[in-house]
Amino acid sequence: MDEPSSSSDSNANHGSRPKHRFHFKSTKGSIALLVVLCLLASTIFGFGGAMFANHMITGSDSFGKRSEADGKLSISNTGTTIEQSTDGNLTIKEIAALNANSVVEIKTEAMVTDSWMQQYVTEGAGSGVVISADGYIVTNNHVIENSNKITVTLKSGKSYSAKLIGRDDETDIAVLKIDASGLTPVVYGDSSALEVGDLSVVIGNPLGSLGGTVTAGIVSALDRSITIDGKSMTLLQTDASINPGNSGGGMFNQNGELVGIIVAKSSGSDVEGLGFAIPVNKVKKIAQELADYGYVRGRIDTGMTFVDLTSMRNAVYYGVTSLGIYVKSVDSDFAKAAGFKSGDMIYYVGDKKNQFRIGSDQCL
């Protein structure tokens, strides 16, 4: 893949976020659970030294080619060859071996100024997935948000300074580039072909120091709609173990193909086995846009930041008593000139009422 001429979003913020309260929705009602973005990133406050654990590309085979011959599966640019099991699927051990070199560790540094105007360095950690042999890597936006420095470490132990090519806050996807060649890219699967009960293998960097960790479970649910930071996301659900640092890591199917990018998990003390991943079909599309242009084309720019208030719990948090689209900030002159201000509520878009129920991203 040729490196895009446009490098990154000049206004990009790259670093770790704290815990957030997400709202889970289902067809039989809603429940509220406390989960953390798998900003599953570990954060170290430099001065105090205290550590906290917190939080494409088109389906083209040019990034990683899978060939089948004589019952074998191989990644063409590495010579990695795995024998298939008798039922045609790979074992967890085989999936781990196939993708060991395709999942990387990511460490970030950011300069932060506190309320007393004192500056200190925060360090975060997450995971990433190699999507091209020449150094393109996909991860979560929240892993690199607010960062001044991003370092990628391969399974071999070799580290590279990474350049942010583009990021998308709405889908929580970011693309990085390191100056390397001969890497082992993942092979894309089809997340729309997944079924509940399918094998789910997660590879990542839990706690920011355990790179290459493999956990396994099943696909627990499809098209799970949750609201994260006021943004509605449709995610895959898995019961594979996910911990701080797994953000941006890969979720693989029984063929060893990438089917999702880990993004969030439940953090409730009485809740277990609730992890979430961005479907790879969405990741491919957004990552391709970011790699080629540094941004996602065709997206409406309102000059405002929205929060979708789809439950009274969320509404009360923002100090309002009704559901709708809450205007969190007004950043552009044209939006200000139109009369919008922070704290406004939007109830109608066009001539249709209650469009906010599907989220501002979809209705706009």
In the structure, what pLDDT confidence band is assigned to residue 262 with cuts at 50, 70 and 90? very high
Of residues 13 and 96, more confidently modeled: 96
Residue 167 sits in the same domain as residue 239: yes
What is 66-126 written as a DSSP string? EEEETTEEEETTTTEEEEPPTTSPPPHHHHHHHHGGGEEEEEEEEEEE-TTS-EEEEEEEE
- Looking at residue 26, which CATH number applies to its domain? 2.40.10.120
- Position 352 scores a pLDDT of 59
Residue 261 sits in the same domain as residue 342: no
> Is 172 among the residues known to form the active site?
yes
Q: Kindly state the tokens that stand for 162.
A: 């990474």
Looking at 263, 278, 299, which one is the last position of a domain? 299
In the structure, what pLDDT confidence band is assigned to residue 175 with cuts at 50, 70 and 90? very high
Domain that holds residue 356: 304-363
Residue 77 sits in the same domain as residue 64: yes
Residue 274 sits in the same domain as residue 353: no
At 329 the three-state DSSP class reads: strand
In the structure, what pLDDT confidence band is assigned to residue 345 with cuts at 50, 70 and 90? confident
- Position 314 scores a pLDDT of 76
Residue 265 sits in the same domain as residue 225: yes
Segment 241-264 mean pLDDT:
93
Q: Which of 16, 102, 142, 266 is catalytic?
A: 142
Of residues 277 and 122, more confidently modeled: 277
Give the span between the Cα atoms of 119 and 142, in whole angstroms.
21
Residue 289 sits in the same domain as residue 161: yes
What is 174-206 written as a DSSP string? EEEE-S--S-----B--GGG--TT-EEEEEE-G
Give the span between the Cα atoms of 103 and 245, in whole angstroms.
12
Segment 79-107 mean pLDDT:
78
Of residues 285 and 82, more confidently modeled: 285
Task: Flag whether pLDDT at 317 surpasses 90.
Answer: no
In the structure, what pLDDT confidence band is assigned to residue 249 with cuts at 50, 70 and 90? very high
In the structure, what pLDDT confidence band is assigned to residue 248 with cuts at 50, 70 and 90? very high
Residue 147 sits in the same domain as residue 289: yes
Task: Give the CA count within 13 Å in the CB-facing half-sphere of 197.
Answer: 0
Residue 275 sits in the same domain as residue 320: no
Give the span between the Cα atoms of 95 and 108, in whole angstroms.
28
Percent of the chain with pLDDT over 70: 69
Give the angle 232-240-203 at the CA atoms, nearest 5°. 95
Residue 216 sits in the same domain as residue 348: no
Give the span between the Cα atoms of 123 and 16, in whole angstroms.
8
Read off the pLDDT of residues 193-215 as tens digits, 9 standing for 90 and up.
Answer: 999 999 999 999 888 888 889 99
Looking at 299, 317, 336, which one is the last position of a domain? 299
Residue 232 sits in the same domain as residue 330: no
Dihedral angle, C-alpha 14, 280, 77, 79, nearest 10 °? 120
Give the span between the Cα atoms of 102 and 87, in whole angstroms.
25
Q: Which of 42, 247, 266, 267 is catalytic?
A: 247
- Across the chain, mean pLDDT equals 75
Number of domains in the chain: 2
Cβ 264 vs Cβ 35: under 8 Å: yes
Looking at 299, 322, 342, which one is the last position of a domain? 299
Residue 291 sits in the same domain as residue 143: yes
Residue 334 sits in the same domain as residue 256: no
> Is 20 among the residues known to form the active site?
no
Of residues 63 and 159, more confidently modeled: 159
Identify which of 279, 350, 352, 360 has the alpha carbon closest to the alpha carbon of residue 314: 360
In the structure, what pLDDT confidence band is assigned to residue 308 with cuts at 50, 70 and 90? confident
Q: Which of 9, 16, 168, 172 is catalytic?
A: 172
Residue 337 is given by DSSP the state H
Task: Flag whether pLDDT at 37 surpasses 80.
Answer: no
pTM of the model: 0.66
Of residues 48 and 233, more confidently modeled: 233
Task: Flag whether pLDDT at 82 surpasses 80.
Answer: no
In the structure, what pLDDT confidence band is assigned to residue 30 with cuts at 50, 70 and 90? very low
